A and B are shown apart, each in its own frame.
Chain A
Amino acid sequence: LRNHPCLALWCGNNENQWIHDRTYWDRQDYPVPGSLYNNTLLPQIVKEFDGKTPYWPGSPYGGNDYNSSKDGDVHNWQVWHGNLPRRFGEKPRVERSPEGVSFLHYAQDLGRFISEFGMHASPVYETLRRNIPADQLFYHSPSMDHHNKDTPNNKGDNLMATVTGLPTDLEEYIDYSMMAAWSCG
Protein backbone atom coordinates (compact mmCIF):
# COMPACT_ATOMS: atom_id res chain seq x y z
CA LEU A 1 0.00 0.00 0.00
CA ARG A 2 2.87 2.40 0.69
CA ASN A 3 3.20 3.33 -3.00
CA HIS A 4 -0.51 3.95 -3.52
CA PRO A 5 -0.98 7.54 -4.78
CA CYS A 6 -4.05 8.14 -2.58
CA LEU A 7 -2.32 7.24 0.68
CA ALA A 8 -2.39 10.34 2.87
CA LEU A 9 -1.95 8.95 6.36
CA TRP A 10 -1.26 5.78 8.29
CA CYS A 11 -3.55 5.41 11.30
CA GLY A 12 -3.00 3.07 14.24
CA ASN A 13 -6.61 2.04 14.81
CA ASN A 14 -10.23 3.08 14.85
CA GLU A 15 -11.54 4.51 18.14
CA ASN A 16 -9.46 2.28 20.44
CA GLN A 17 -8.08 5.08 22.61
CA TRP A 18 -11.33 7.08 22.56
CA ILE A 19 -13.67 4.26 23.51
CA HIS A 20 -11.26 2.93 26.12
CA ASP A 21 -11.11 6.36 27.75
CA ARG A 22 -14.89 6.78 27.65
CA THR A 23 -15.45 3.32 29.09
CA TYR A 24 -12.80 3.53 31.84
CA TRP A 25 -12.97 7.28 32.29
CA ASP A 26 -12.32 6.98 36.07
CA ARG A 27 -9.48 4.42 35.78
CA GLN A 28 -6.22 6.31 35.36
CA ASP A 29 -4.43 3.11 36.33
CA TYR A 30 -5.73 1.30 33.25
CA PRO A 31 -3.71 2.24 30.14
CA VAL A 32 -5.10 1.75 26.66
CA PRO A 33 -4.52 -1.82 25.48
CA GLY A 34 -2.34 -1.85 22.39
CA SER A 35 -0.44 1.29 23.33
CA LEU A 36 2.86 -0.41 22.54
CA TYR A 37 1.64 -1.01 18.98
CA ASN A 38 -0.07 2.35 18.45
CA ASN A 39 2.52 4.60 20.05
CA THR A 40 5.83 2.80 19.55
CA LEU A 41 5.95 -0.15 17.14
CA LEU A 42 3.65 1.05 14.34
CA PRO A 43 5.21 4.53 13.98
CA GLN A 44 8.66 2.91 13.86
CA ILE A 45 7.52 0.41 11.24
CA VAL A 46 5.84 3.11 9.14
CA LYS A 47 8.96 5.23 9.30
CA GLU A 48 11.14 2.30 8.29
CA PHE A 49 9.03 0.92 5.43
CA ASP A 50 7.36 4.10 4.15
CA GLY A 51 9.36 7.05 5.40
CA LYS A 52 7.21 9.74 3.74
CA THR A 53 3.60 9.34 4.86
CA PRO A 54 2.60 10.70 8.28
CA TYR A 55 1.48 8.37 11.05
CA TRP A 56 -1.40 9.08 13.46
CA PRO A 57 -1.85 6.94 16.61
CA GLY A 58 -5.62 6.44 16.27
CA SER A 59 -8.81 7.98 15.05
CA PRO A 60 -10.01 10.10 16.71
CA TYR A 61 -6.86 11.27 18.43
CA GLY A 62 -5.46 14.52 19.77
CA GLY A 63 -6.50 17.00 22.39
CA ASN A 64 -8.43 16.70 25.61
CA ASP A 65 -10.17 14.16 25.27
CA TYR A 66 -9.12 12.05 22.25
CA ASN A 67 -12.15 13.38 20.34
CA SER A 68 -11.43 17.02 21.11
CA SER A 69 -12.40 19.57 18.46
CA LYS A 70 -9.33 21.63 19.32
CA ASP A 71 -6.69 19.20 18.14
CA GLY A 72 -6.39 16.21 15.83
CA ASP A 73 -9.35 14.56 14.17
CA VAL A 74 -12.94 14.22 15.30
CA HIS A 75 -15.64 11.58 15.03
CA ASN A 76 -18.82 13.59 15.30
CA TRP A 77 -21.12 11.16 17.07
CA GLN A 78 -23.04 13.84 18.84
CA VAL A 79 -25.31 13.62 15.83
CA TRP A 80 -27.01 10.19 15.77
CA HIS A 81 -25.52 8.95 19.09
CA GLY A 82 -25.80 12.04 21.29
CA ASN A 83 -22.21 12.00 22.63
CA LEU A 84 -21.47 15.36 24.22
CA PRO A 85 -18.00 16.96 24.23
CA ARG A 86 -15.94 16.19 27.33
CA ARG A 87 -12.42 16.26 28.74
CA PHE A 88 -10.24 13.54 30.20
CA GLY A 89 -11.44 12.55 33.65
CA GLU A 90 -15.02 13.67 33.06
CA LYS A 91 -17.82 11.13 32.99
CA PRO A 92 -19.13 10.78 29.44
CA ARG A 93 -22.51 12.42 28.94
CA VAL A 94 -25.03 11.39 26.34
CA GLU A 95 -28.09 13.34 25.17
CA ARG A 96 -30.21 11.12 22.97
CA SER A 97 -33.33 13.26 22.70
CA PRO A 98 -34.46 14.14 19.15
CA GLU A 99 -32.91 17.57 19.62
CA GLY A 100 -29.77 16.09 21.17
CA VAL A 101 -28.96 13.92 18.15
CA SER A 102 -30.08 16.43 15.50
CA PHE A 103 -27.86 17.13 12.50
CA LEU A 104 -28.16 20.82 13.39
CA HIS A 105 -25.30 20.22 15.83
CA TYR A 106 -22.94 20.07 12.86
CA ALA A 107 -23.16 23.86 12.80
CA GLN A 108 -21.47 23.91 16.23
CA ASP A 109 -18.69 21.51 15.29
CA LEU A 110 -15.36 23.36 15.22
CA GLY A 111 -13.26 20.23 14.72
CA ARG A 112 -10.07 20.49 12.67
CA PHE A 113 -10.69 17.34 10.64
CA ILE A 114 -13.99 15.47 10.81
CA SER A 115 -13.01 11.91 10.00
CA GLU A 116 -16.38 10.29 10.83
CA PHE A 117 -19.93 11.61 10.81
CA GLY A 118 -23.34 10.76 9.40
CA MET A 119 -26.32 8.63 10.26
CA HIS A 120 -27.76 5.35 9.14
CA ALA A 121 -30.80 4.88 6.94
CA SER A 122 -32.80 2.11 5.38
CA PRO A 123 -31.72 0.55 2.10
CA VAL A 124 -34.16 0.54 -0.81
CA TYR A 125 -37.16 -1.81 -0.68
CA GLU A 126 -35.62 -4.28 -3.11
CA THR A 127 -32.73 -4.91 -0.72
CA LEU A 128 -35.13 -5.41 2.17
CA ARG A 129 -37.25 -7.77 0.07
CA ARG A 130 -34.24 -9.97 -0.62
CA ASN A 131 -33.15 -10.14 3.02
CA ILE A 132 -36.24 -9.90 5.23
CA PRO A 133 -38.96 -12.60 5.35
CA ALA A 134 -42.13 -11.44 3.61
CA ASP A 135 -44.20 -11.55 6.79
CA GLN A 136 -41.59 -9.35 8.52
CA LEU A 137 -41.60 -6.51 6.02
CA PHE A 138 -42.90 -3.86 8.35
CA TYR A 139 -41.37 -1.07 10.41
CA HIS A 140 -39.70 -2.37 13.60
CA SER A 141 -40.62 -5.98 12.86
CA PRO A 142 -38.45 -8.45 14.82
CA SER A 143 -36.48 -9.29 11.68
CA MET A 144 -35.99 -5.63 10.71
CA ASP A 145 -34.81 -4.84 14.23
CA HIS A 146 -32.52 -7.88 14.21
CA HIS A 147 -30.78 -6.53 11.10
CA ASN A 148 -30.48 -3.07 12.61
CA LYS A 149 -27.29 -3.13 14.68
CA ASP A 150 -27.93 0.19 16.39
CA THR A 151 -28.14 -0.04 20.19
CA PRO A 152 -30.94 0.28 21.11
CA ASN A 153 -32.27 -0.47 17.66
CA ASN A 154 -34.91 2.23 17.82
CA LYS A 155 -32.24 4.90 18.37
CA GLY A 156 -32.62 6.04 14.77
CA ASP A 157 -36.21 7.06 15.38
CA ASN A 158 -34.98 10.26 16.99
CA LEU A 159 -33.06 11.13 13.82
CA MET A 160 -36.33 11.21 11.88
CA ALA A 161 -38.46 12.79 14.61
CA THR A 162 -37.22 16.33 14.10
CA VAL A 163 -36.88 16.17 10.32
CA THR A 164 -39.72 14.14 8.85
CA GLY A 165 -41.68 12.97 11.86
CA LEU A 166 -41.91 9.29 12.70
CA PRO A 167 -42.89 6.87 9.95
CA THR A 168 -46.09 4.87 10.20
CA ASP A 169 -45.23 2.10 7.74
CA LEU A 170 -42.29 0.53 5.94
CA GLU A 171 -42.52 2.74 2.87
CA GLU A 172 -42.36 5.84 5.04
CA TYR A 173 -39.50 4.37 7.05
CA ILE A 174 -37.43 3.80 3.90
CA ASP A 175 -38.05 7.33 2.65
CA TYR A 176 -37.97 9.16 5.98
CA SER A 177 -34.73 7.60 7.18
CA MET A 178 -33.09 8.44 3.84
CA MET A 179 -34.49 11.98 3.97
CA ALA A 180 -33.10 12.47 7.48
CA ALA A 181 -29.68 11.22 6.34
CA TRP A 182 -29.97 13.40 3.23
CA SER A 183 -30.57 16.45 5.41
CA CYS A 184 -27.45 15.75 7.41
CA GLY A 185 -25.31 15.73 4.27
Chain B
Amino acid sequence: MELWVTNDTLHEVTDTLTIRFGTFVESTVWEESSYIHIGVNDNQMVRHCDAGKMIAGPDRYLTVRSAKGLFPAKRHFFSPIKELQRTPVQPEITIAQMGEHELHVHLRAVNYTYFVHLIVPDARTHFTDNYFDLEAGEMRTVILTNRSITLTPEMVSVGWR
Protein backbone atom coordinates (compact mmCIF):
# COMPACT_ATOMS: atom_id res chain seq x y z
CA MET B 1 0.00 0.00 0.00
CA GLU B 2 1.24 3.46 -0.86
CA LEU B 3 -0.26 6.76 0.21
CA TRP B 4 0.34 9.65 -2.16
CA VAL B 5 -0.62 13.24 -1.49
CA THR B 6 -0.92 15.91 -4.16
CA ASN B 7 -0.72 19.57 -3.30
CA ASP B 8 -2.41 21.46 -6.12
CA THR B 9 -2.32 24.78 -4.29
CA LEU B 10 0.11 27.66 -4.72
CA HIS B 11 1.47 27.42 -1.17
CA GLU B 12 3.37 24.80 0.79
CA VAL B 13 1.33 22.37 2.86
CA THR B 14 2.21 20.87 6.22
CA ASP B 15 -0.03 18.49 8.07
CA THR B 16 -0.12 15.30 10.09
CA LEU B 17 -1.95 12.40 8.52
CA THR B 18 -3.32 9.52 10.55
CA ILE B 19 -3.58 6.19 8.81
CA ARG B 20 -5.78 3.61 10.50
CA PHE B 21 -6.21 -0.01 9.56
CA GLY B 22 -9.27 -1.36 11.27
CA THR B 23 -12.15 -3.76 11.17
CA PHE B 24 -15.84 -3.02 10.82
CA VAL B 25 -16.48 -3.82 14.47
CA GLU B 26 -14.59 -0.82 15.82
CA SER B 27 -11.27 -2.45 16.51
CA THR B 28 -8.04 -0.85 15.35
CA VAL B 29 -5.52 -3.28 13.97
CA TRP B 30 -2.88 -0.57 13.76
CA GLU B 31 -2.69 3.18 13.51
CA GLU B 32 0.16 5.51 12.75
CA SER B 33 0.75 9.14 11.93
CA SER B 34 2.93 10.80 9.32
CA TYR B 35 4.07 14.42 9.19
CA ILE B 36 3.93 15.78 5.66
CA HIS B 37 5.53 18.82 4.07
CA ILE B 38 4.68 19.19 0.40
CA GLY B 39 5.74 21.98 -1.87
CA VAL B 40 3.72 24.02 -4.33
CA ASN B 41 2.15 21.89 -7.05
CA ASP B 42 4.07 18.86 -5.86
CA ASN B 43 3.10 15.34 -4.92
CA GLN B 44 4.77 12.81 -2.69
CA MET B 45 4.47 9.25 -1.59
CA VAL B 46 4.13 9.91 2.14
CA ARG B 47 3.71 6.33 3.31
CA HIS B 48 4.68 2.91 2.06
CA CYS B 49 3.38 -0.17 3.83
CA ASP B 50 4.52 -3.68 3.05
CA ALA B 51 1.85 -6.24 2.31
CA GLY B 52 3.00 -8.22 5.34
CA LYS B 53 1.79 -5.47 7.63
CA MET B 54 -1.70 -5.53 6.20
CA ILE B 55 -3.70 -8.70 6.20
CA ALA B 56 -6.37 -7.35 3.90
CA GLY B 57 -9.81 -8.86 3.82
CA PRO B 58 -13.51 -8.14 3.48
CA ASP B 59 -13.86 -7.50 7.22
CA ARG B 60 -11.49 -4.52 7.35
CA TYR B 61 -10.68 -1.20 5.77
CA LEU B 62 -8.15 1.59 5.70
CA THR B 63 -8.69 5.28 6.45
CA VAL B 64 -6.53 8.37 6.27
CA ARG B 65 -7.40 11.59 8.05
CA SER B 66 -5.92 15.06 8.00
CA ALA B 67 -5.25 16.67 11.40
CA LYS B 68 -5.87 20.10 9.88
CA GLY B 69 -8.91 18.97 7.96
CA LEU B 70 -7.24 19.75 4.64
CA PHE B 71 -9.25 17.00 2.96
CA PRO B 72 -12.22 14.84 3.94
CA ALA B 73 -11.32 11.46 5.42
CA LYS B 74 -10.51 8.88 2.75
CA ARG B 75 -11.21 5.19 3.07
CA HIS B 76 -10.29 2.10 1.12
CA PHE B 77 -12.11 -1.22 1.10
CA PHE B 78 -10.29 -4.35 0.07
CA SER B 79 -13.34 -6.06 -1.42
CA PRO B 80 -16.40 -5.04 -3.44
CA ILE B 81 -19.24 -3.61 -1.35
CA LYS B 82 -21.34 -6.72 -1.78
CA GLU B 83 -18.63 -8.91 -0.23
CA LEU B 84 -17.82 -6.79 2.82
CA GLN B 85 -18.31 -8.60 6.09
CA ARG B 86 -20.19 -6.04 8.09
CA THR B 87 -23.56 -5.56 9.73
CA PRO B 88 -25.29 -2.33 8.76
CA VAL B 89 -26.98 -0.73 11.77
CA GLN B 90 -29.21 2.31 11.74
CA PRO B 91 -27.27 5.37 12.90
CA GLU B 92 -28.59 7.39 15.82
CA ILE B 93 -30.48 10.38 14.45
CA THR B 94 -31.56 13.55 16.21
CA ILE B 95 -33.17 16.41 14.33
CA ALA B 96 -33.32 19.90 15.78
CA GLN B 97 -35.65 22.55 14.36
CA MET B 98 -33.74 25.83 14.01
CA GLY B 99 -36.46 28.14 12.81
CA GLU B 100 -38.87 27.76 9.95
CA HIS B 101 -36.33 27.08 7.23
CA GLU B 102 -33.47 25.24 8.91
CA LEU B 103 -32.92 21.81 10.44
CA HIS B 104 -29.83 20.41 12.12
CA VAL B 105 -29.55 16.66 11.67
CA HIS B 106 -27.18 15.05 14.18
CA LEU B 107 -25.93 11.60 13.22
CA ARG B 108 -23.91 9.11 15.21
CA ALA B 109 -22.86 5.80 13.75
CA VAL B 110 -23.31 2.74 15.94
CA ASN B 111 -21.40 0.58 13.52
CA TYR B 112 -19.54 1.33 10.32
CA THR B 113 -22.24 2.99 8.22
CA TYR B 114 -21.84 3.23 4.48
CA PHE B 115 -23.52 5.60 2.02
CA VAL B 116 -25.30 7.73 4.61
CA HIS B 117 -27.65 10.08 2.81
CA LEU B 118 -30.40 12.50 3.73
CA ILE B 119 -33.42 13.10 1.55
CA VAL B 120 -36.04 15.84 1.66
CA PRO B 121 -38.81 15.76 -0.97
CA ASP B 122 -38.10 19.28 -2.19
CA ALA B 123 -35.31 19.94 -4.67
CA ARG B 124 -34.67 23.44 -3.29
CA THR B 125 -33.29 22.03 -0.05
CA HIS B 126 -29.59 22.69 0.56
CA PHE B 127 -27.48 20.21 2.53
CA THR B 128 -24.10 21.13 4.03
CA ASP B 129 -23.06 17.51 3.44
CA ASN B 130 -24.58 14.38 2.02
CA TYR B 131 -23.61 10.88 0.87
CA PHE B 132 -20.78 9.94 3.19
CA ASP B 133 -19.53 7.13 5.40
CA LEU B 134 -19.34 7.20 9.19
CA GLU B 135 -17.02 5.03 11.21
CA ALA B 136 -18.31 3.40 14.38
CA GLY B 137 -18.85 6.12 16.99
CA GLU B 138 -18.28 8.93 14.51
CA MET B 139 -20.67 11.89 14.65
CA ARG B 140 -21.64 14.45 12.07
CA THR B 141 -24.11 17.29 11.90
CA VAL B 142 -25.73 18.16 8.59
CA ILE B 143 -27.51 21.49 8.25
CA LEU B 144 -30.53 21.61 5.97
CA THR B 145 -31.90 24.90 4.71
CA ASN B 146 -34.74 25.74 2.38
CA ARG B 147 -35.89 29.35 2.02
CA SER B 148 -38.91 28.39 -0.07
CA ILE B 149 -40.82 26.08 2.25
CA THR B 150 -41.12 25.30 5.94
CA LEU B 151 -38.85 22.41 6.86
CA THR B 152 -40.00 19.97 9.51
CA PRO B 153 -38.19 16.92 10.93
CA GLU B 154 -40.88 14.64 9.49
CA MET B 155 -39.77 15.61 5.98
CA VAL B 156 -36.29 14.16 6.47
CA SER B 157 -35.50 10.57 5.68
CA VAL B 158 -32.08 9.08 6.25
CA GLY B 159 -30.77 6.20 4.19
CA TRP B 160 -27.67 4.06 4.65
CA ARG B 161 -26.22 0.74 3.56
Contact = CB atoms under 8 A, between A and B. Distances in A.
Interface of A: 124-127, 129, 162-165, 175, 178-179, 182-183
DSSP majority for the B interface?
loop
- Interface range, B side: 10 to 19
DSSP majority for the A interface?
helix
B115 A163 contact: no
Contact of A126 (B82, B115, B119): B119
A140 B131 CA distance: 24
B3 interface: no
Nearest to A162: B80
Given A163-B81, A163-B82, A165-B82, A179 B119 contact: no
B55 interface: no
Given A126-B121, A126-B123, A182-B131, A175 B115 contact: yes
B51 to A, nearest CB: 17
Contacts of A162: 80
Contacts, number: 28
Nearest to B114: A179
B115 A124 contact: no
A164 B123 CA distance: 27
B121 A179 contact: no
A126 B118 CA distance: 12
A173 B70 CA distance: 34
A163 B123 contact: no
Contact of A183 (B81, B122, B123, B131): B81
Given A162-B80, A163-B82, A179 B161 contact: yes
A175 B131 contact: no
